[in-house]
Amino acid sequence: MFYWLLKRIVLGPILKALFRPWVKGLENVPASGGAILASNHLSFSDSFFLPLMVPRRITFLAKADYFTGRGIKGRTTAAFFRGVGQVPIDRSGGRAGEAALRTGLRVLRRGDLLGIYPEGTRSPDGRLYRGKTGVARLALEAKVPVLPVAMIDTDKVQPIGQRIPRIRRVGMIIGEPMDFSRYEGMEGDRFILRSITDEIMYELMKLSGQEYVDVYASTVKARLATVARERFEELAARGREVLDKRDGDRHGTAERPEEPDAAAADAVVAGAAEEVASAEGPVAPDSPAEDGGDLATHNGVARPDVVEQVDPVEERNPRAS
């Protein structure tokens, strides 16, 4: 009830008036029955604009942190996310990942639409990253089609770290349903799961026009966070050194220090701030078989071309063998 109240009366009309969202391929969404909407993930607002434009209700899997807050703010946030059709999942892996898959299966088996982000988190730089195989396992176990969805320009409306959206037009392209019934009964084969996932990511690449990087977005975010921490530590050390010199100068035990390079300090702070990723939004659950997902696919399935190879040892070329 709350879902439809927000969509049709409270929030929906305001979003449509301000952002004038457009959609192509709406006819590809089935009128009934379960299906997976697998989308690229550019912005926190993706989970608002896609349900706004699809007539049927969409349930997303969201990180449990949104539902466990304390106080009035925490309870309000939890009530809001439940109201807009999001279901909490624990993303810590292992049994939690299995529980997330079970939750998604319940949604699909009751004939509803499940929204999922195969990348597992928002893109840190607007490119399309390697998909996690949970989406493939869900499709096979629930025996439902997958609809690739490309969100357009939502990262310009609300980039990572920005709380208040900018007013500009956004769009989405819904591709034709992808049928993986030829792999029925093979959901335990990690090679098959990787092959299906890469096929989905290839369609997302074509629809969105994004560059593809054959690395997990979470890996890139972790590396960026490490760089950011190092830069902050460098700036802090520089500040301590300047303060120590000034203290010595006041007591006549040191020469007057040179003025600190303010421009360099500002650059360190700005660069780190841009690179530290903020809290993620709704995500795709990891498949328990994901630990074997780095191996190349087979059966001649088309794979996205590599644009950047960050780590040739850990990450594999996604071209079809």
Q: How many domains does the chain have?
A: 2
By mean pLDDT, which of 68-72, 98-102, 169-173, 213-217 is the weakest? Answer: 68-72
Over residues 14-27, the pLDDT tens digits come to: 999 999 999 999 99
For residue 277, pLDDT over 90 is answered with: no
Which one, of 103, 102, 139, 141, lies nearest residue 118 by Cα? 139
By mean pLDDT, which of 60-74, 120-134, 288-302 is the weakest? Answer: 288-302
Indicate the pLDDT class of residue 275, thresholds 50, 70 and 90. Answer: very low
CA-to-CA distance for 46 and 128, rounded, in angstroms? 15
- Counted residue by residue, the chain has a size of 321
Pair 71, 189 in one domain: yes
By mean pLDDT, which of 88-97, 220-229, 306-315 is the weakest? Answer: 306-315
- Assess if residue 294 is contained within a domain: no
What residue type is assigned to position 8 of the chain? R
What residue type is assigned to position 130 of the chain? R
Pair 122, 10 in one domain: yes
Name the most confidently modeled range: 161-170, 232-241, 251-260, 263-272. 161-170
Q: What is the CATH number of the domain that holds 70?
A: 3.40.1130.10
* C-alpha torsion sign, points 87, 91, 96, 99: positive
Pair 44, 135 in one domain: yes
Secondary-structure percent of the chain, ordered helix, strand, coil, rounded to 5: 45, 10, 40
Let me know: does 81 contact 67? Beta carbons within 8 Å: yes
The pair of three-digit structure tokens given for residue 101, joined into one six-digit string: 């898959």
Residue that is written with structure tokens 């006819």 in the block: 27
318 versus 35: which is more confidently predicted? 35
- Assess if residue 81 is contained within a domain: yes
Range of the domain at 68: 2-213
Residue that is written with structure tokens 């927000």 in the block: 6
Q: Domain boundary residue among 192, 213, 234?
A: 213
Instruction: Quote the pLDDT of residue 93.
Output: 61
- Report which DSSP code applies to 310: S
pTM of the complete model: 0.72
- Assess if residue 99 is contained within a domain: yes
What residue type is assigned to position 152 of the chain? I
Indicate the pLDDT class of residue 286, thresholds 50, 70 and 90. Answer: low
- Assess if residue 291 is contained within a domain: no
Angle between helix 217-250 and 262-275 (nearest 10): 150
Over residues 69-128, the pLDDT tens digits come to: 788 877 777 777 777 778 777 666 667 678 888 989 999 999 999 999 999 889 999 999
Indicate the pLDDT class of residue 282, thresholds 50, 70 and 90. Answer: very low
